[in-house]
Amino acid sequence: MVSESTPSGLAVEENPGAAPRPVRQKVFSGIQPTGNFHLGNYLGAIRNWVAQQSEYDNIFCVVDLHALSQTTSRDTLRENNRNLANMLLASGLDPAQSIIFIQSDVREHTELCWLLSSVTMDGELRRMTQFKDKAGGRGERVSSALLFYPVLQAADILLYDTNLVPVGEDQKQHIELTRDIGARFNARYGETFVLPQPDIKANGARIMSLEDPTKKMSKSDASPNASIALTDDPDTIRRKIRRAVTDSGTEVVAAPDKPALTNLLTIYSLLSNEPIAALEERYAGKGYGAFKTDLAEVVVAAMAPIQARLADLDANPDAARAILSDGADRARARAIFKMAEVRDRMGIGLG
């Protein structure tokens, strides 16, 4: 079934002879098992996945094959896979509402990646900002997996007839490329893939570094004080927020010339579910100190239930293993079905 997302948020299944039946939109998103999962990942992506879980037909994936573009240690990758799986469950992803699995458990992702490379232009991949940032002109010394990264991401998304891809702002270009690849395939071989839409929220899609509000909070930042890890203990959280850079002046307001305060207010507002304007009013004339003290407690309180669930999951490794194995079975069943269609369209094998 091929359907474009409709503005109402519902895809309509074509079922000749019967009245159109609304079906739930399909959501797919992924996250790399690379190091410390931080507040930016949580607010920009995972929290939204959790909040919308009951509305959609969801698939969430630990993309370990993507992480191979940068991780070269076997033990690190294994450990990161386990930690991230536990973190997703602790953050509230629910296997009763969402398929949660490890990318490498469903081999169809790598197969589709290769097939899609035949409709992806080399120039398109070299123009990706993430590639340019990460490769940084060191062409001879970065793996070609870094260049191929968006083709595998397109495969992840197109494999499941995805309508919506909830991500942070930095992934917008990769979703646009996914649409281009899907459209090119459809034009060449006939309608096969649904063209997905990015789902990027107005707030939180770009949480900035606590040390430099012109840079995004990033797993690859060398300084541990630039980001808050979801596993940071309360005192570490308090210390990092106390040290966070602020703007000149004393007023707690969000404004284009106050990037640091805008970032801190955004974090406060998202975690407390209060509008930024209400916070500006509350802290008028109170200065940065009082604001930061309260913000630290808001973050500590938001992390506490996640950290408690994480401790339970860490103490019982078989729990996540069973959930991810079941998730892979469910994802694989859909992937096998789609790949049969793709192979046939392309004329692979004897048919």
205's contact among ligand AMP, ligand TRP, none, with CB below 5 to 8 A by partner kind, is ligand AMP
In the set 5, 25, 29, 163, which binds ligand TRP (CB under 6 A)?
29
Q: Which is nearer to ligand TRP, 24 or 219 (CB)?
A: 219
How many angstroms from the chain centroid is the CA of residue 282?
33
Stretch that binds ligand TRP, among 4-12, 27-35, 278-286, 332-340 (CB under 6 A): 27-35
Binding residue for ligand TRP, selected from 167, 207, 229, 300, defined by CB under 6 A: 167
Inter-residue contact 174 to 143 (CB < 8 Å): no
Alpha-carbon distance values, 108 to 228, 323, 339 (Å): 35, 20, 7
Cα separation of 46 and 144, whole Å?
Answer: 28
Phi-psi category of residue 209: left, alpha or beta, with phi > 0 → left and psi -120 to 50 → alpha: beta
Residue 261 · residue 254 · CB < 8 Å? yes
- The site partner of 165 among ligand TRP, ligand AMP, none (C-beta below 5 to 8 Å per kind) is ligand TRP
- CA distance linking residue 206 with residue 200, whole number of Å: 10
Residues within window 9-48 making contact with ligand AMP, judged by CB under 6 A = 31-32, 40-41, 44-45
* Interface residue with ligand TRP, options 11, 27, 28, 252 (CB under 6 A): 28
The token duo for 341 is: 């269609």
Q: Among residues 77, 84, 82, which one has the least CA distance to residue 38?
A: 84
Q: What is the CA radius of gyration of the chain?
A: 21
**Residue with token string 């698939």:** 59
Interface pattern 143-162 for ligand TRP (x via CB under 6 A): ----------x--xx-----
Residue 302 binds which entry of ligand AMP, ligand TRP, none, CB below 5-8 Å type-dependent = none
With respect to ligand TRP, which residue has the nearer C-beta, 57 or 156? 156
Task: Report helix, strand or coil for 170.
Answer: helix
* Side chain identity at residue 338, one-letter code: K
For the CB of residue 88, give the shortest distance to ligand AMP in the complex, in Å.
Answer: 11
Question: Does residue 206 belong to the site contacting ligand AMP (CB under 6 A)?
Answer: yes
Selection from ligand AMP, ligand TRP, none that 44 binds (CB < 5 to 8 A by kind) is: ligand AMP
By annotation, the residues acting in catalysis are 134, 216, 219
Can you give the binding site for ligand TRP, defined by CB under 6 A? 28-32, 63, 66, 153, 156-157, 165, 167, 171, 174
